[in-house]
Amino acid sequence: MRRVVFVGNPNTGKSTLISALSGRRMEVANWPGTTVERISAEVEAGSETFRLVDLPGVYDLLDESPDAEITLRELVENPPDVIVNVLDAAHLERDLHLTLELMEMGIPMILILNMVDEARRRGIEVLPSKIEEELGIPVVETVAVKGEGLDELLSAIDRAAIPVPPVHYGKDVEVAIEEIASKISHPARRWLAVALLMGEERDFFPVGASLKEVADVWRERLRSEVGDSFLYMEGRRISTARGVASRVVFRGKSRGMIQEKLDALLMNPVAGPVAMLLFLILAFRFAFFLSSPWVEFMGTLSRVLGGWLLTAGVDGMFASFLIEGVISGAGTVLSFAPVLFLFYLVLGFMELSGIMARMAFVLDTLMSFIGLPGKSFAPLMMAFGCNVPAIYATRTLENFRDRLKVALMIPFMSCSARLPVLVLFAAVFFPRNPVPVVLSLYLLGAMVAFITGSLLKKLFRDESPSIFEIPPYRMPDPGLLLGISWSRTLEFIRGAGTIIVAGVVLVWFTMHMHLYGESIYRLVSGGMLPLFRLMGVDDWRLVGALIPGFVSKEVIIGALAVGFQGAEHLSPIGFVEGLSMIRDAFLDAVKGSVEAPALIFGIPGFRIPPVELTLGAHLSKVLTPAGALAYMVFVLLYTPCLATVAAIKQEFGGRWALLSIVYQMTVAFILAVLFYKIAVLIHG
């Protein structure tokens, strides 16, 4: 089976091509050892099977981005059988730059002119036969989204040949290249020799230290001739690309781009940010309202499973362990899944459609205050819905430090799971103006995030140049979009799932294991109480609820209710009864999803269920308004949930996950105490 890798500039349609070639049966996985997602598929062509692999989009193999390093490393360490170089026909000249480099790698290669539909609309006609003549390798035109040219692509793979390197670097330099290349036994010897002469090296280059010295000597010797060898070689590639492009590209009249009108709105300095904000809010409300009926469905599902266990005669400690530990743990994980899936759809749509780049454009100034590119606004906004996908959404940023910075800011953005807690406390303790109180808390969270960003800006210093491409508006391929979102969701269930279940089980143990006649849970909460007294919280049950709240904020109210009112007992459920409960819950969820679009434009009401009102009465006996405010501030700012921690660990490693927990706890504690003291000062 031949390995065929797809290489090209970002956004040229590599993933869409593989998805289309495989009949949308592609796999999405992370590139080994990284969080870079790539698509691959096995495709049969005639009697042969190809393994198609998507490499990260790069502008140049020597670019210093992590994506470029992955691609280059793969080509050097694990040379494929065939390179499929994908180009955007609309800007051939720029894209050819990479092509010319790839042609020095000594690997059989074909060229794909994708997006010819778009190029034509802009009056650009490229002649594939002419490029074939110029470069001597097969060239195929495709429109990946419409599936045009796919058969030709597959048959061209058979005609792939090792290219003759097209760039000539001048007589003297060629002598040097020849000499260095003759000492390299790797197929990419010419490319490697050129790279060494440009003064570039990577630890994975298959060349010895002595050869590097030889190259350095040559570079010095050539200096009088060509000046800075790096710029000189780049210059030769540029002029070769320009020469080829000038002979194969024909420009007619552009039929105009519809996008100008949309750009006038979305990229307007005033209307743009407003429109983007509205779009984001609507998109996330859409994801939220569409998924919340399914969250309820998951709740019913785990209650029925628990009931069945009781009916089946599993009881005592073990039943409690299975029901409250394992099932509710898995339920927590699964209830995240629909939210995540929809968030990923929205995010993926924004990225693939070109909307994200416009958003980066209008918000670039704002984000530059905290040393971040404009794009980083999206994960931060997303965090208002749910922090977990927001952490994964940092993947859209290229620079590791930028990603980390955003990931440390995200947990302070109040997610939807914190809202019920804030609403309950605001309604009970500030009955005259609960809404302003909740909104101010949201603002506080955003401010803490922003301050975190500014601090990190000082700490990290280096600011990567923010240059980005604004692709034309495009309709994303639905199959690709669904495939990517689905595989990202699965990845979450696998990765974060185990940590969450482990956390829930651990909390269960602390509640049911006893020391000196008291549950560990009670002892720990009691032990931490003196700290919380500093913020006017003087009841162990309030402190205790924060422990499962660390696993997920959704359960805080439940834990408070159990603490103050005693647990609600699961009751046995018959098999048939359970099935009909699941069916009803399913139908409700379907109905809820159908009604969701209508809710998007509505204003969320602060509606408090009656059960929580009696809880409110209990709470008002043990807390003053000042203490309640401090408690809300703490809940707002302390570690959002174990899933977020797991996501940070998956993306950045355990050390950063731990550091972020410590940081959030410290900030939450200090600000809660501060707010308490100030509130007491003002109100006596």
Partner 1 sequence: MPSGPLTLAELEVGEEAKILSIEGPGFLRRKLIYMGLYPGTTVRVFRKGPAGNPVGIIVDDVLLLAVRRKDAQFIKVRRKG
Ligand X SMILES: Nc1nc2c(ncn2[C@@H]2O[C@H](COP(=O)(O)OP(=O)(O)OP(=O)(O)O)[C@@H](O)[C@H]2O)c(=O)[nH]1
| Sites of contact with ligand X (CB under 6 A) | 8, 10-16, 57, 114-115, 117-118, 143-145, 352, 474, 476-477
124: partner contacted, choices partner 1, ligand X, none (Cβ within 5-8 A by kind):
partner 1
Exactly one of 2, 73, 242, 533 binds partner 1 (CB under 8 A); which one?
242
Considering only CA atoms, which of 363, 372, 375, 442 is closest in space to residue 408?
Answer: 372
What pairing do the DSSP bridges indicate for beta strands 2-8 and 82-88? Answer: parallel
- 49 within 8 A of 42, measured Cβ to Cβ: yes
| Residue 12: alpha-carbon gap to chain centroid | 20
Q: In this chain, which residue has its C-beta nearest to ligand X? A: 57
263 part of the interface to partner 1, by CB under 8 A: yes
Residue whose tokens read 């074939």 = 132
Tokens of 445: 């969270």
Shortest CB 352 distance to ligand X, Å? 3
Shortest CB 355 distance to ligand X, Å? 10
Dist. CA 168–CA 243, nearest whole Å: 12
Is the CB of 206 or the CB of 478 nearer to ligand X? 478
Q: Contact region for partner 1 (CB under 8 A) — 62-70, 161-169, 383-391, 444-452?
A: 62-70
267: partner contacted, choices ligand X, partner 1, none (Cβ within 5-8 A by kind):
partner 1
Burial (CB count within 10 angstroms: exposed 0-12, middle 13-18, buried 19+), residue 258: exposed
Q: Contact region for partner 1 (CB under 8 A) — 173-181, 356-364, 570-578, 579-587?
A: 356-364
Burial (CB count within 10 angstroms: exposed 0-12, middle 13-18, buried 19+), residue 200: middle
Shortest CB 131 distance to partner 1, Å? 17
Is the CB of 2 or the CB of 94 nearer to partner 1? 94
273 part of the interface to partner 1, by CB under 8 A: yes
243: partner contacted, choices ligand X, partner 1, none (Cβ within 5-8 A by kind):
none
Is the CB of 470 or the CB of 502 nearer to partner 1? 470
- 589 within 8 A of 644, measured Cβ to Cβ: no
Is the CB of 349 or the CB of 468 nearer to partner 1? 468
366: partner contacted, choices partner 1, ligand X, none (Cβ within 5-8 A by kind):
partner 1
Q: Which 154-213 positions form the footprint of partner 1 (CB under 8 A)? A: none
Is the CB of 254 or the CB of 498 nearer to partner 1? 254
59 part of the interface to partner 1, by CB under 8 A: yes
User: CB 555: neighbour CB atoms within 10 A?
Assistant: 21
Exactly one of 148, 364, 538, 577 binds partner 1 (CB under 8 A); which one?
364
Q: What stretches of 184-286 adopt beta strand conformation (E)?
A: 249-251
64: partner contacted, choices partner 1, ligand X, none (Cβ within 5-8 A by kind):
partner 1
Dist. CA 482–CA 480, nearest whole Å: 6
Is the CB of 365 or the CB of 580 nearer to partner 1? 365
Shortest CB 237 distance to partner 1, Å? 10
- 665 within 8 A of 638, measured Cβ to Cβ: yes
469 part of the interface to partner 1, by CB under 8 A: yes
Contact pattern from residue 89 through residue 128 relative to partner 1, giving x for each residue in contact according to CB under 8 A and a dash for the rest: -xx-xx--x------------------------x-x----
Shortest CB 266 distance to ligand X, Å? 16
366 part of the interface to partner 1, by CB under 8 A: yes
269 part of the interface to partner 1, by CB under 8 A: yes
- 168 within 8 A of 188, measured Cβ to Cβ: no
Exactly one of 349, 400, 442, 468 binds partner 1 (CB under 8 A); which one?
468
145: partner contacted, choices ligand X, partner 1, none (Cβ within 5-8 A by kind):
ligand X
Dist. CA 92–CA 249, nearest whole Å: 8
Is the CB of 477 or the CB of 491 nearer to ligand X? 477
Q: Where are the alpha helices (DSSP H) in 79-127?
A: 92-102, 116-121
144: partner contacted, choices ligand X, partner 1, none (Cβ within 5-8 A by kind):
ligand X
16: partner contacted, choices partner 1, ligand X, none (Cβ within 5-8 A by kind):
ligand X
End-to-end CA distance of the chain: 78
Dist. CA 435–CA 427, nearest whole Å: 9
Is the CB of 204 or the CB of 369 nearer to partner 1? 369
Is the CB of 379 or the CB of 476 nearer to ligand X? 476
Burial (CB count within 10 angstroms: exposed 0-12, middle 13-18, buried 19+), residue 483: buried
- 428 within 8 A of 628, measured Cβ to Cβ: yes
Dist. CA 37–CA 650, nearest whole Å: 13
60 part of the interface to partner 1, by CB under 8 A: yes
Q: Contact region for partner 1 (CB under 8 A) — 365-373, 406-414, 632-640, 653-661?
A: 365-373
Exactly one of 18, 28, 62, 424 binds partner 1 (CB under 8 A); which one?
62
Dist. CA 395–CA 509, nearest whole Å: 36
Dist. CA 325–CA 319, nearest whole Å: 9
Give the count of residues interacting with partner 1 (CB under 8 A). 42
Per the DSSP assignment, residues forming a β-bridge with 510 are none
Burial (CB count within 10 angstroms: exposed 0-12, middle 13-18, buried 19+), residue 520: middle
Query: CA neighbours within 13 Å on the CB side: how many for 51?
Result: 6
365 part of the interface to partner 1, by CB under 8 A: yes
Q: Which 214-233 positions form the footprint of partner 1 (CB under 8 A)? A: 230-231
Dist. CA 100–CA 92, nearest whole Å: 12
Shortest CB 203 distance to partner 1, Å? 19
Strand order in the sheet with 2-8: 27-30, 37-45, 48-54, 2-8, 82-88, 109-114, 139-141
Binding residues for partner 1, rule: CB under 8 A, are 59-60, 62-64, 90-91, 93-94, 97, 122, 124, 230-231, 234, 238, 242, 251, 254, 263, 267, 269-270, 272-273, 357, 360-362, 364-366, 368, 374, 465-472
